[in-house]
Structure 1
Amino acid sequence: MRSALSRTKARAALLGELEEAMRRSSAQGVLYGQTVANVAGIANSDLECMDILYLEGRVTAGRLAEVTGLTTGAITGVVDRLEKAGLVRRERDEADRRKVYIAVVPETAMKIGQLYVPMQQALEKVFSGYSDEELRLLLRFANEGYKGVVAATAALKTLLDTPPEKRPDLKLKKRRPKP
């Protein structure tokens, strides 16, 4: 009985360490992205939208709004800024000229991609210490973790449709309106 309890405690401690390590890694990834955005002279949220465009491929502004959770008005501002910076372009659909897609400009995106080379090299060094089997496990973990975060994000977003008085009380100070 005692060994089962100690195994349970050991597992809880291990899971706690894993969660903390993931949070540190996630936070550092955000900070790295913010630094890339600062060096590139664009907003971090704009950089994240560009990364989503890069991963999703050519998409409509509506799809980008759906994926990011931003309003279509906010996406218009993001796309305007990214287009001005030469990072994306608007492309009309050949079959339906009313439909407009947003696409990454590969040549310019490659310039920003160069800022990620040090991080890629650091990760390659880390990954070189793992066997192919371990890498497959890490890949499975990353993919399943991503799905879990997407589901958790969707669940959290339902609070936005909940009246403020029925939301969890976070005891946050209210922002004062700007004069």
Structure 2
Amino acid sequence: MRPTLSRTKARAALLQELEEAMRRSSAQGVLYGQTVANVAGIANSDLECMDILYLEGRVTAGRLAEVTGLTTGAITGVVDRLEKAGLVRRERDDADRRKVFIAVVPEAAMKIGQFYVPMQQAMEKVFGGYSEEELRLLLRFAHDGYKGVLAATEALKGLLDTPPEKRPALKLKTRPRRP
């Protein structure tokens, strides 16, 4: 066997292991978020929208719909639920009273943020084992990975515009139902 072929196999194995580790981490992050949502008494998708609002800052419902990929009607429902729970508020634009922004209520964000403290502490412990150079690499990886996920999401959304009969077949195995 040639050394380059061996390196190719080793790289493929490493990439496979990295993909699986990222999938596990992503899945656990989703499960952690679901647990936070359950404890907070809100839907996981609503919590994710709140997190996006927190990261984006004060935005319009249209912008939130754009960022999440949800319809404006769905966003109205999310904002209504979050507002009822006291987590966000609607704010009119001072310059154009017709324009409404959605903003996170800081005190509410702090309350929900308390549920993330154990995860933050665990990650701080993990990050403490990395040099500044390694942290910069991880940051670059996270940014590049985010861009990759955005691109993949947009490509997948393209299937929504494709008639169902022209979409790639999805064959799921099903078990026979018991009588």
Q: Structure 1 length normalisation: TM-score?
A: 0.95
Q: Which amino acid aligns with 1:97?
A: R
Q: Does 1:119 align with 2:124?
A: no
- Aligned pair count reads 173
1:172, 1:65 → 2: CA distance?
31
Q: Gaps (5+ residues) in structure 2?
A: 174-179
1:53, 1:66 → 2: CA distance?
12
Structure-to-structure mapping, 1:15-26, within 5 angstroms:
15-26=15-26
For 1:87-136, what per-residue CA distance to the aligned partner results, in whole angstroms no more than 9, with x for missing partners?
00000000100000000000011000000000000000000000000000
Q: Which amino acid aligns with 2:115?
A: L
Structure-to-structure mapping, 1:20-169, within 5 angstroms:
20-169=20-169
Map of 2:177 onto structure 1: none
1:7, 1:172 → 2: CA distance?
36
1:134, 1:2 → 2: CA distance?
32
Query: How far is the alpha carbon of 1:171 from its aligned partner?
Result: 2.2
Q: Gaps (5+ residues) in structure 1?
A: 174-179
Provide the secondary structure at the position in 2 that maps to 1:119. helix
2:10, 2:59 → 1: CA distance?
46
RMSD: 0.9
Q: Which runs of 4+ in 1 moved over 4 A?
A: none
Identity %: 91
Provide the secondary structure at the position in 2 that maps to 1:117. helix
2:102, 2:161 → 1: CA distance?
29
Q: Which amino acid aligns with 1:28?
A: Q
Map of 2:176 onto structure 1: none
Provide the secondary structure at the position in 2 that maps to 1:98. coil
2:132, 2:40 → 1: CA distance?
35
